[in-house]
Amino acid sequence: MTVPLASYLLVALILFCIGLYGALTKRNAVIVMLSMELMLNAVNINLVAFAKFGAFANLTGQIFSLFSITLAAAEVAVGLAILISLYRNRRTVNVDEMDLLKR
Amino acid sequence: MMSSAWLIPLLPLAAFLLLVAFGRQLKESSAYIGILATLAAFVLALGTFFERFAAGAENYYFAFQWLTFGEKVIDMGFEVNQLNAMMLVIVTFVSLLVHIYSKGYMHGDERFPVFYSYLALFTFSMLGLVISPNLLQVYIFWELVGVCSFLLVGFYFYKPEAKAAAKKAFIVTRIGDVGLFIGISLIFWYTGSFNFADIFTALQNGVMESWQITLVGILIFIGAVGKSGQFPLHTWLPDAMEGPTPVSALIHAATMVAAGVYLVAVMFPLYQASVDASLVVAYIGGFTAIFAASIGLTQRDIKRVLAYSTVSQLGYMMLALGMASVAGYVAGTFHLMTHAFFKALLFLAAGSVIHAVHTQDIFEMGGLFKKMRITGTVFLIGCLSIAGIFPFAGYWSKEEILGAVYNEGHLGLFAVGVIAAFFTAFYMFRLFFATFTGESADDTKKVHESPLVMTVPMILLAVLAVVAGFINTPGNPILGHWLTEGMAGAEEAHHAPFWISIVATLVSLFGIFLAWLMYGKKSVARDVIAAPFPWLYQLSYRKYYIDELYDNVIVRPLRVFGEFLTMVDVYIIDGLVKLVGAFTKELGHAGARVQNGQIQTYGVIAFLGIVLLVIGLTFGRGYLG
């Protein structure tokens, strides 16, 4: 029994939406970064699914997803560094309170 | 001289302009400009009059085209006919005397030049009205005269009563003016012209149906009712006494209020053509005559009594004109002339008294004859004239009126006229005896005669109040024949029976005698009628409660309606406008909430934007298939 392509894409979509919701509504910056990881993982699932079932089924999709994971890791490192420096400056990780752009 | 009659109104207009420009520097010398202008106008008017009066003279008419719509043309110009010429002399003469008198009366007033400028403007307006050859021009000057009356009555504008009186005068006459305007428009519609000559030709040719003639006649008379203070639009005249006394003499005795009578006289062929309209004129005139006289019986303010007297005498004039007979026409216009003289005289004399004793209540005066002989004498002459005693001017004109009424068979109106004559004699001599005879109510006040500049005009008017009647006696009706030259039915009008003059004189003498008993000799109690019938006295003293009636029935509901409309304006109309503003403001607030500097908000907006874009592209001509 094969799982159709649509299921993989749907799972990825649901994951992406959950990640998007978290990124846009959670107050704690760490959770926001977590949600962003979720979104990146969803994209990875999409890539692997198309590597198997897509129009031009190729191994390139899986290789691409490896690159994506690497980049995500690097990005998290930088993001956490920014977060710690923000915390040291403002004593809070509440994204609601970071509204200097308002001026 | 007749061809330069157009200069007559322009001289006072020039005085007005000069006074407006230079009055403040001139101060009390402004009187000379006004006096000079009216003197020149008077001389010109005399010249015009004598030229027209000469045997074989013709009417003079000049007009130029002012507006044209299609084939209809409206002219502006002037004409001189018998009635005009007489009115020109009356208006310029009384105006001249009032100008001279005011130099003394208004001496010391801060707004002296303003007063003279208003007087000049008024004289211009009245003279312009009198020489107008068509109804539209008459209406223009009619409104101008109303404006001047407003300005002059409200001259002491810092007094709330004067302000209210000025507004009342203007608004009440405006009600009449609406009727006049509708009448003028209807005439233009029916006959195609505003010109008197054209209208009368159209009347003769039977262009208008009889109901149309009646309607127009009544509407034009409504205008006259407003301006001449006939019932029910009489309420403004007594209140207009808030203005300075020279104003009362000029406007509310001799000239402006005569404009209504003048209008009816000018449109006389219209009233001759409609029995119903002239009956309306006659009945309202007759009723007003007795109604106003009955109010004048109890008033205490010297100027109010004279004001009600004016209303009553104007009623007599309307009564005469309403007879629609040649005799009535002559009687009405003759009385207009004599009334102008003796009423102006009475007002000027009253002003002289007020100037001296600083009160207007006749029961605070008394014994003034010894201290103010000239004023007292001329006032007596005025009273005798208005009461219709032989051989003063009022006798001849009043007798003509009563005779004309009797000859047309209106016995009810004739009785009304006789009773009103009794009232007239009574209240005028009540005024005289209370003011000038007896003991002074307050001996400590120093009272002295008025200066020459005030007494000379009064003396001149007194002379006229004595002799002016002789130009139209039944044995030698010079004025009558001249006025009605060329008028339909101007053949030898039958004279009234002689007993009428006897009855009228007896009635007046009885009125004088009763007034003497009550106020001169004081042998009959003042309240001989008031005590047993207090309600009668109250009705008369409170002016039959007409002012209160109008206040409750018309003014208050209108005011409530006005408040209601204000609510509509404030809440509904302004509300709608404010709604638009509020909506925009809320939109702005919503937009401001988006700009809060938080990344997550911006992220939401960006996401929404992408969604909208994708939807748009999918359902547009995007990546479908």
Model pLDDT for residues B326-362, shown as the tens digit of each residue: 888 999 999 999 999 999 999 999 999 998 888 888 8
Query: Residue B390 contacts by C-beta under 8 Å, 6 or more apart in sequence?
Result: B501, B505
Q: Is A24 in Cβ contact with B607 (below 8 Å)?
A: yes
CA B608 from chain center: how many Å?
A: 78
Chain A CB within 8 Å of residue B598 CB: yes
Q: In the 8-state DSSP scheme, what is residue B325? A: S
B595 touches chain A (CB under 8 A): yes
- Give the model's confidence band at B320: pLDDT under 50 very low, under 70 low, under 90 confident, else very high: very high
A35 DSSP 8-state letter = H
Tokens 């209008």 belong to residue: B263
Cross-chain residue pair A102–B597, CB shorter than 8 Å:
yes
pLDDT above 70 for B443:
no
Q: Would the CB atoms of A24 and B604 count as touching at under 8 Å?
A: yes
- B88, B5 in Cβ contact below 8 A? yes
Contact A102 B595 (CB under 8 A): yes
Q: What is the pLDDT of residue B477?
A: 80
Contact B261, B336 (CB under 8 A): yes
Name the amino acid, one letter, at A43: V
Q: What are the b/e assignments for A75-99, b being 16+ CB within 10 Å?
A: ebeebeeebeeeeeeeeebebeebe
* Closest in B595, B598, B607 to A20, CB measured: B607
The answer to whether A102 contacts B600, with C-beta atoms less than 8 Å apart, is no
Residue A18 pLDDT > 80: yes
Count of helices and strands (H, E) across chain A: 3, 0
Q: Which residue has the higher pLDDT, B484 or B514?
A: B514
Query: What would the pLDDT profile of A30-42 be if each residue is shown by its tens digit?
Result: 999 999 999 999 9
Q: Looking at chain B, which residue has its C-alpha nearest residue A98?
A: B598
- Indicate if the pLDDT at residue B147 is higher than 90: yes
Range list of β-strands (E), A18-75: none
Q: In whole angstroms, what is the distance from residue B500 CA to residue B508 CA?
A: 12
Q: Is the pLDDT of residue B491 over 60?
A: no
Mark yes or no for CB contact B599/A95 under 8 Å: yes
Q: Which residue of B has its CA nearest to A24?
A: B600
> Does the structure show a pLDDT above 90 at B285?
yes
| Yes or no, beta carbons of A23 and B600 under 8 Å apart | yes
What are the pLDDT digits (tens) for A56-89? Answer: 888 999 999 999 999 999 999 999 999 999 999 9
Identify whether the C-beta of residue B366 lies closer than 8 Å to the C-beta of residue B435.
Answer: yes
Which residues in chain A have Cβ-Cβ distances shorter than 8 Å to B603? 23-24
Q: Could you give the count of Cα atoms lying within 13 Å of B221 in the half-sphere of its Cβ?
A: 29
- According to DSSP, the residues that pair with B301 across neighbouring strands are B361
Q: Is B449 helix (H, G, I), strand (E, B) or coil?
A: coil
For residues B397 and B289, the answer to whether their CB atoms sit within 8 Å is no
Residue B624: band (very low, low, confident or very high) from pLDDT cuts 50, 70, 90? low
Between B14 and B481, the more confident residue is B14
pLDDT digits (tens, 9 = 90+) for B516-572: 888 888 777 777 777 778 888 888 888 888 888 888 899 999 999 999 999 999 999
State chain B's mean pLDDT as an integer. Answer: 89
Q: How confident is the model at residue B280 (pLDDT cuts 50, 70, 90)?
A: very high
pLDDT of amino acid B623: 59
Nearest chain A CA: its distance from B601 CA (Å): 7
Q: List the one residue out of B593, B613, B590 whose CA is nearest residue B601.
A: B593
CA B464 to chain centre: 23
| Residues with Cβ within 8 Å of residue B619, at least 6 apart in sequence | none
Contact B299, B360 (CB under 8 A): no
Res B95: pLDDT: 94
Quote the pLDDT of residue B489: 64
Q: What is the pTM of this model?
A: 0.81
Mean pLDDT computed over B10-39:
91
Of B526, B371, B501, B386, which is closest to residue B449 (Cα–Cα)?
Answer: B371
Task: Count other Cβ atoms within 10 Å, centred on residue B547.
Answer: 15
Structural contact between residues B427 and B307, judged by C-beta atoms closer than 8 angstroms = no
Q: Looking at beta carbons, which residues of chain B come within 8 Å of A98? A: 597-599
Region B419-440 average pLDDT: 90
Please enumerate in sequence order all residues whose Cβ is within 8 A of that of B494, keeping only pairs 6 or more positions apart, or say none. Answer: B327, B407
Classify A103 as helix, strand or coil.
coil
Structure-model confidence comparison of residues B247 and B1, the more confident one = B247
Each residue's pLDDT tens digit, B76-85: 899 998 899 9
A25 neighbourhood in chain B, CB within 8 Å:
600
- Chain A, window 34-53: residues with a beta carbon less than 8 angstroms from a chain B beta carbon: none
